């Protein structure tokens, strides 16, 4: 029997180039948290480079755990793991509340270790929630993942920083558009291997085109050292403070919720459905990766939704391709000069490619919703309200401004709030108290189910 495409081992060149494409798609997401937290602490340029390299290195280790797996650890799906952005707000809050900034990273690392270990213990129990994720829920969540990521692509398209003079300039938006067009042309008019690495080729073409406009900066390559290793506990031994631990435990719950949704999404895309056992193994990889990460000066790790779009678009489902990407991440952590090569790609170029990647995730969610029996009025309402709740942080970023900071960690994640809303509404409408209205069809979402029930359709008896 032939191997499932998820377990397929591709030729070395194809494995390397497609793996590098995954790294290019998620690089900005991995390096952003250490840059933000490091800047808040006031790290020097050298220390900031070290912290960024450490996060790349630990992302590679976590990706190995997730894709290759050991024992009951790892979903063994084409998942890239990296630093979760959900932890940025609480980590900067920890920095702000720490009097001696030199203690900030040790306190963060201690909190992440504890949260990771507790998450590892909770993984098999958390995975039992799979029964509450029918297509109406998974389709909604997958769609929300794509919609939530699109603003990231739009931000990249405008430039590297909102404070920059050229942010949102015609040049930046033009480069994003050119990159998008290159990717679309390659996808439309090429075949085979070239078609599959269209995003990588688009990034290379966009970077070259950007050179005359002065947007491509090769300075990081010239300044980077060839060899570097993330020395364990470089910033000091971990410290354990209750408030910090509690805040990172909340982040861990959010991260596990998003990872569960991501695994369900990827399972649909690669045609290997993520069951309870797979989700438990995947969550163990997430949480163990998070617990190990601080040993090498890294932060909490989670599955990267960005790369789901790449899998959906390229149709390359091999987990070994993503494992190769993990190898590149480890290499970048050990060789700062290699890491700097990816950093050369201008943000607008990344933004142009991101539109295709993240839009592909939303499209996959819509495909799942097609199978969600939307001719039932219950399911239409579940999707409608859940999408609305999940889009709040995107459409109205200050909507939850008066809520406590710990609550905002969850509320500001549209994926988490939309997921919770979909699960709860599915329970209320389709499970609790029976399924009395589940069979009712609707011709319009605003039409009352009882007005078009089978009983009302039947001709009156004289």
pLDDT for residue 185: 93
Helix pair 377-395, 135-158: axis angle to 10 deg: 20
Query: Among 9, 65, 5, which residue's Cα sits nearest to residue 311?
Result: 5
For residue 397, give Cα distances in angstroms to 140, 148, 156, 164, 192: 20, 12, 18, 22, 42
pLDDT for res 114? 95
d(CA 188, CA 200): 15
The β-bridge partners of 82 are 302
Provide φ and ψ at 116, rounded to 5°: -65, -45
Q: What is the pTM of this model?
A: 0.67
pLDDT at res. 446: 42
Asked if 175 and 215 touch (Cβ cutoff 8 Å), the reply is yes
Q: Across-strand partners of 303? A: 81
- pLDDT, averaged per 10 consecutive residues of the chain (462 residues), comes to 76 86 76 75 76 88 90 87 76 79 89 94 84 79 79 84 84 93 89 73 88 79 70 88 81 79 83 86 92 91 78 83 90 76 78 82 79 80 92 88 75 78 88 56 44 42 42
Cβ contact 182:201 at 8 Å: yes
In the prediction, which pLDDT does 112 show?
Answer: 93
| CA-to-CA dists, residue 238 to 91, 125, 233, 286, angstroms | 14, 28, 8, 20
């Amino acid at each position: 029997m032939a191997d499932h495409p998820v377990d397929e081992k591709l030729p070395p060149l194809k494995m390397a180039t497609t793996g590098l494409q995954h790294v290019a798609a998620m690089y900005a997401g991995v390096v952003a948290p250490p840059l933000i937290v490091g800047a808040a602490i006031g790290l020097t340029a050298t220390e900031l480079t070290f912290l960024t390299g450490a996060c790349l290195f630990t992302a590679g280790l976590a990706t190995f755990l997730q894709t290759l797996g050991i024992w009951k650890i790892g979903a063994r799906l084409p998942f890239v793991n990296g630093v979760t952005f959900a932890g940025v707000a609480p980590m900067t809050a920890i920095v702000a509340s720490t009097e001696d900034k030199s203690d900030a990273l040790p306190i963060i690392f201690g909190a992440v270790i504890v949260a990771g270990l507790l998450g590892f213990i909770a993984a098999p129990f958390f995975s039992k929630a799979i029964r509450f994720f029918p297509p109406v829920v998974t389709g909604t969540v997958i769609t929300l993942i794509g919609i939530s990521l699109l603003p990231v692509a739009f931000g990249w398209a405008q430039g590297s920083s909102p404070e920059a003079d050229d942010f949102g300039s015609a040049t930046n938006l033009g480069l994003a558009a050119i990159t998008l067009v290159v990717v679309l042309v390659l996808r439309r008019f090429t075949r085979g291997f070239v078609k599959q690495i269209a995003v990588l080729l688009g990034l290379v073409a966009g970077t070259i085109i950007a050179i005359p406009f002065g947007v491509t900066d090769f300075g990081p390559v010239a300044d980077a050292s060839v060899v570097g290793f993330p020395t364990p506990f470089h910033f000091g031994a971990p410290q354990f403070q209750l408030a910090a631990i509690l805040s990172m435990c909340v982040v861990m719950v959010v991260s596990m919720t998003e990872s569960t949704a991501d695994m369900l999404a990827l399972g649909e895309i690669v045609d290997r459905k993520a069951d309870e056992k797979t989700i438990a193994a995947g969550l163990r990889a997430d949480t163990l990766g998070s617990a190990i990460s601080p040993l090498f000066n890294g932060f909490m790790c989670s599955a990267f939704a960005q790369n789901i779009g790449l899998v959906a678009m390229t149709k390359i489902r091999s987990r070994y391709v993503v494992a190769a990407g993990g190898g590149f991440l480890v290499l970048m952590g050990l060789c700062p000069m290699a890491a700097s090569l990816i950093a050369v790609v201008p943000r607008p170029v990344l933004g142009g490619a991101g539109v295709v990647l993240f839009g592909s995730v939303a499209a996959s969610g819509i495909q799942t919703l097609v199978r969600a029996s939307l001719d039932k009025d219950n399911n239409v309402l579940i999707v409608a309200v859940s999408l609305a709740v999940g889009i709040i942080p995107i459409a109205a970023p200050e909507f939850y401004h008066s809520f406590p900071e710990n609550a905002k960690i969850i509320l500001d994640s549209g994926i988490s709030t939309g997921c919770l809303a979909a699960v709860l509404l599915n329970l209320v409408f389709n499970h609790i108290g029976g399924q009395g209205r589940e069979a009712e069809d609707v011709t319009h979402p605003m039409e009352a189910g009882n007005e078009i029930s089978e009983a009302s359709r039947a001709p009156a008896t004289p």
